[in-house]
Amino acid sequence: MDIQEILRTHKQKEVPQHLQTRMDAKIDELFEQKYNKPSFVSNFKWQLALGIFVLGIIAGTGILTVSRKPASKTLEAVNTIEIGKESKLSFQFFSQDDMKDIVFNINLPGGVALASNPQKKDIHWKGDLVKGKNVICIYVKAQKEGIWEVAAQLQTNGTILKQFKMPIVIEKKG
């Protein structure tokens, strides 16, 4: 049963004939036009929904790419060390979640050596990270004057999460 039929079968009150005719004509005209209140949203519903969907996909893809993509290279502050002296190198990073089975590889350049084992140039740390700020420190000893760069990588399951490039200036004092 449609609305027009409901209106026609409804008990009518006494209305003068000329007004009844005009009201019926107006009702018929409105139903034939399928009158809708014009609005931007109702005219472009599917376009609006499609636009929001596409923007959501683009934004979601961008967010995933940014959060999963490693920062290409992080330059740490320049450390100046005197020849023969020890210094602490700190590698800081932020983890959004607890992470297991992390490998942190550090490659020391020619003018810098691990303080506890001067012959060792490659350091490998394996462990877990906690959610939030994490810091890994190593102690190095300056051996040769010059400008050097310590390279490091944080990875899990063969995927590089972050790369570090830490410049070190080794100079003679006195």
3-state secondary structure of 51: helix
Last residue of a domain, one of 41, 68, 95: 68
Q: What pLDDT is recorded for position 107?
A: 93
| Shared domain check, 81 and 123 | yes
Last residue of a domain, one of 46, 68, 90: 68
- Spatial CA neighbour of 109 closest among 139, 137, 140, 135: 140
Q: What is the pLDDT of residues 35-74, one digit of tens each?
A: 555 555 566 677 777 888 888 777 776 655 544 444 444 4
Using the predicted structure, report yes or no on whether residue 84 has a pLDDT greater than 80.
yes
What is the domain extent for residue 55? 3-68
Q: What pLDDT is recorded for position 108?
A: 92
pTM: 0.53
The first and second tokens of residue 38, run together, are 């014009």
> In CATH, what number is assigned to the domain containing residue 139?
2.60.40.10
| Shared domain check, 122 and 87 | yes
Q: What pLDDT is recorded for position 74?
A: 47
Q: What is the pLDDT of residues 121-172, one digit of tens each?
A: 999 989 888 888 988 888 999 999 989 999 999 898 888 888 888 898 988 8
Q: What pLDDT is recorded for position 38?
A: 58
The first and second tokens of residue 167, run together, are 């410049």
| Shared domain check, 98 and 138 | yes
Q: Which residue has the tokens 């993509």?
A: 69
Whether 86 and 155 have beta carbons less than 8 Å apart is answered as no
| Shared domain check, 114 and 58 | no
Q: What pLDDT is recorded for position 6?
A: 75
| Shared domain check, 23 and 76 | no
Distance CA 73, CA 79 (A): 17
State how many domains the chain has.
2
Using the predicted structure, report yes or no on whether residue 76 has a pLDDT greater than 60.
no
| Shared domain check, 88 and 20 | no
- Spatial CA neighbour of 168 closest among 144, 134, 135: 144
